[in-house]
């Protein structure tokens, strides 16, 4: 028996990187998956690859910063597929700006808009469905929610807020049988991160400290997410689980 047998999972930001890895991973665990991304072509590519391997997958376009669009998606999916069982809030962006940089305010606004407001929009839209299914939420935070390692107040603040929001959700939704947890990845070797590897010293802040002396592969986020989404974690609620090769323990 697979851990997510016949569960309906929505993965935002599923068109690439960690989102694509998680979309493939939940299907391997027995789930059906909705791959949502602001880039419909990317979502279609991931969903198509899953279907080619015999899985059930649908692609949807959504801009998580558009609250009305997230509600339309929730309504449409509910009518067509029924309530989702698992929401994986993965959609997010990165960006660097010191507080005294000329573009600091612009970078801050965009990071908060996507990484925090977007996560709220999707969650708010799908809470009724999750109450109906007594499902669960897995949010994507970051190790920078625990310790600063980069010069980006906006990114650090947004991921720290995701950590706190997850704990608030766990408290608010527990009476309805809905759990909320998060994973906090370390440096994961996605296409968004790989350019840092080409910059002299670009990842020293991480590699000098992490005991395993390497970054994580996107597929290494799948196991923790599947666990948190499954019945094996039925008494796990409000946890933010580091997936960081021991970085925070060093």
For tokens 């791959």, the residue is 35
Question: Which of 62, 167, 38, 160 has the alpha carbon at shortest distance from 111?
Answer: 160
Give tens-digit pLDDT for 188-207.
Answer: 999 877 776 677 666 888 88
pLDDT (0 to 100) of residue 151? 73
The number of residues in the chain equals 250
pLDDT at 152: 87
Q: Is the pLDDT of residue 9 over 90?
A: yes
- CA 74, CA 158: separation in Å to the nearest integer? 24
For 26-93, the DSSP string reads HHHTT-EEEEEES-HHHHHHHHHHHHHTT--EEEEE--TT-HHHHHHHHHHHHHHH---SEEEE----
Q: How high does pLDDT run on average in the chain? A: 95
- Specify the higher pLDDT residue, 146 or 194: 146
pLDDT exceeds 80 at position 66: yes
pLDDT of 183 strictly over 80: yes
DSSP letters of 170-203? HHHHGGGT-EEEEEEE-SB--TTTHHHHTSTTTT
Q: Rounded to two decimals, what is the model's pTM?
A: 0.96
pLDDT class for 148, splitting at 50, 70, 90? Answer: confident
What's the burial of 235, exposed, middle or buried (CB within 10 Å: 0-12/13-18/19+)? exposed
Q: How far apart are CA 41 and CA 53, in angstroms?
A: 19
Pick the CATH number of 8-242 from 3.40.50.2000, 3.40.50.720, 3.40.50.20, 3.20.20.220: 3.40.50.720
When pLDDT is cut at 50, 70 and 90, the band that residue 1 belongs to is: low
> What's residue 250's pLDDT?
83
Residues near 228 by Cβ (< 8 Å), separated by ≥ 6? 136, 138, 181, 183, 236, 239, 241
CB 216 within 8 A of CB 189: yes
CB 226 within 8 A of CB 3: yes
The residues annotated as belonging to the active site are 155
How many angstroms separate the CA atoms of 68 and 96, rounded? 29
> 152: which 2 tokens?
């980006």
Name the residue among 150, 232, 240, 151 with its Cα closest to residue 187: 150
Please say if the pLDDT value at position 11 is more than 80.
yes
Contact 87, 130 (CB under 8 A): yes
Higher pLDDT, 23 or 196: 23
Segment (H or E) for 241: strand 240-243
pLDDT at residue 191, as a whole number: 82
Tens-place pLDDT, residues 115-131 = 999 999 999 999 999 99
- The confidence score (pLDDT) of residue 95 equals 87
As a whole-number percent, the residues of the chain with pLDDT over 70 amount to 98
Q: Give the three-state DSSP class for 137.
A: strand
d(CA 107, CA 96): 7
């Amino acid at each position: 028996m697979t851990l997510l047998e016949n569960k309906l999972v929505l993965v935002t930001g599923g068109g690439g990187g960690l989102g694509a890895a998680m979309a493939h991973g939940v299907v391997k665990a027995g789930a059906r998956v909705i791959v949502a991304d602001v880039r419909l072509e990317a979502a279609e590519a991931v969903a198509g690859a899953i279907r080619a391997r015999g899985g059930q997958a649908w692609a949807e376009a959504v801009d998580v910063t558009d609250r009305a669009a997230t509600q339309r998606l929730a309504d449409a999916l509910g009518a067509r597929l029924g309530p989702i069982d698992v929401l994986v809030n993965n959609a997010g962006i990165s960006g660097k700006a010191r507080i005294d940089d000329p573009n600091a305010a612009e970078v801050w606004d965009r990071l908060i808009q996507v990484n925090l407001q977007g996560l709220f929009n999707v969650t708010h839209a799908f809470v009724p469905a999750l109450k109906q299914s007594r499902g669960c939420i897995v949010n994507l935070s970051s190790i920078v929610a625990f310790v600063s390692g980069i010069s980006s107040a906006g990114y650090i603040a947004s991921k720290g807020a995701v950590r706190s929001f997850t704990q608030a959700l766990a408290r608010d939704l527990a009476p309805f049988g809905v759990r909320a947890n998060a994973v906090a990845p370390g440096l994961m070797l996605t296409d968004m991160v790989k350019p840092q590897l080409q910059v002299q010293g670009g990842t020293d802040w991480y590699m000098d400290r992490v005991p395993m002396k390497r970054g994580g592969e996107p597929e290494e986020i799948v196991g923790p997410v599947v666990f948190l989404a499954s019945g094996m974690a039925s008494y796990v609620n409000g946890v933010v689980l580091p997936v960081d090769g021991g970085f925070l323990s060093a």
